[in-house]
Structure 1
Amino acid sequence: MTETLDQKIERVLKDRIELVPPDPAWPGLFAEEKARLLNTLPEGLIVRVEHYGSTAVPGIWAKPVVDVLVEVADLERARDEAAPILEAQGCDYFWRPQPEGSTPPHYPWFIRRGPGGERTHHIHMTVADSTLWAGLVFRDYLRAHPDAAAEYERLKRRLIADHPGDRVAYTLGKIDFVREIAARAAGS
């Protein structure tokens, strides 16, 4: 039986949320995923690949999921060419919406899983002028400001305690902090 989009969304929203201590393996897991993407996706599709999210910030607890931000030459090509390849490798694929005012309004997003079905990587594909690249500003600010990184870790711990098992509430609870850091970064 084929899974409907609603069933797939319901299934992935049930994935457990946990924070783990910093793992020195995370940069290597990113490098392996980057190599896999460059070796398996069509030539000319990928422009650059970046490690971002909490696993890219040394010293803080994070969900054990490596976030990969991939600049692609064209979103439709990513949708038409990359999605079937990554789905065949077992990735969950979504044409993911972004908040209103973001560019592009949707982008290809993938969840790679380990042998036990646990999330190991989130792969975000977008274009050069996407608002998703602000995630690198956030990453770089936290790398340069350990006090802000520690504050972010405390927020994430509180959100997991306040909203156990609620991925949506966990994610929404971080938005104001991310915006605050963006404002700090713009002012520095």
Structure 2
Amino acid sequence: MPDTVDLVDYDARWPALFKAEQQAIRAALGPEIEACIVHIGSTAVPGLPAKPIIDILLIAPVTAQWPSFIEPLEGLGYAFWPDNPRRDRMFFVKGMPPYGSGRTHHVHVRVPADAQAELRFRDQLRAHPELAAQYVDVKRALAARYRDDREAYTEGKSRFIRELLAAACVDGA
């Protein structure tokens, strides 16, 4: 099955799907792991169309513990992506073979300082409907242009995100 970029309308079940996964991840990691687990990405913004993939930010300050996340998350059906070019991050995908037929969840592991931009972006979209509408236009145009090129789609979104965050810092938002 090709890994295409397909946007769907907002689904009111996404927050509940996140909450269930958050609880499963917390239980799998155990109480000794200091981590904050939050919903990010387009599925975390009410009304926003998205690829139907729940993005989860696992904020964990003790990087020495990160390797211990692999086995519990694999037990939940996640595949660890060891080839991440950013060695200061970890990335997991749920739903890809051999665990399923298509992506359903992503877990992005970050230290607190590295997590702030993703949280600010989500919060900007939630607070400013006009920015969310601009982002929808960008996403739809990129999805049409790069349906079969997830990397180009993601890079196009990244440009918009960087510009929005830079403007928010200048404006004090």
* Gapped regions of structure 2 (runs ≥ 5): none
Aligned position for 2:93:
111
Following superposition of structure 1 onto structure 2, how do residues 26-175 of structure 1 map, counting pairs within 5 Å?
A: 26-79=14-67, 81-95=68-82, 96-98=84-86, 105-113=87-95, 117-130=101-114, 132-175=115-158
Select between 136-145 and 108-117 the one with higher mean Cα deviation: 108-117
State whether residues 53 and 67 of structure 1, in contact with CA within 8 Å, keep that contact through their aligned partners in structure 2.
yes
Aligned position for 1:17:
5
Deviation at 1:133, TM superposition (A): 2.3
> For residues 72 and 42 of structure 1, what CA distance do their matches in structure 2 show?
13
Change (3 A) 1:44 1:97: farther
Q: Deviations over 1:14-70 (max 9, x none)?
A: 422210000000000110111001101132324211111101111111110011001
Deviation at 1:139, TM superposition (A): 0.5
> For residues 161 and 76 of structure 1, what CA distance do their matches in structure 2 show?
41
> For residues 88 and 47 of structure 1, what CA distance do their matches in structure 2 show?
18
Identity %: 38
The count of residues paired between Structure 1 and Structure 2 equals: 168
Deviation at 1:107, TM superposition (A): 1.3
Question: More strand per residue: 1 or 2?
Answer: 1
Deviation at 1:76, TM superposition (A): 3.0
TM-score normalised over the length of structure 1: 0.82
TM-score normalised over the length of structure 2: 0.89
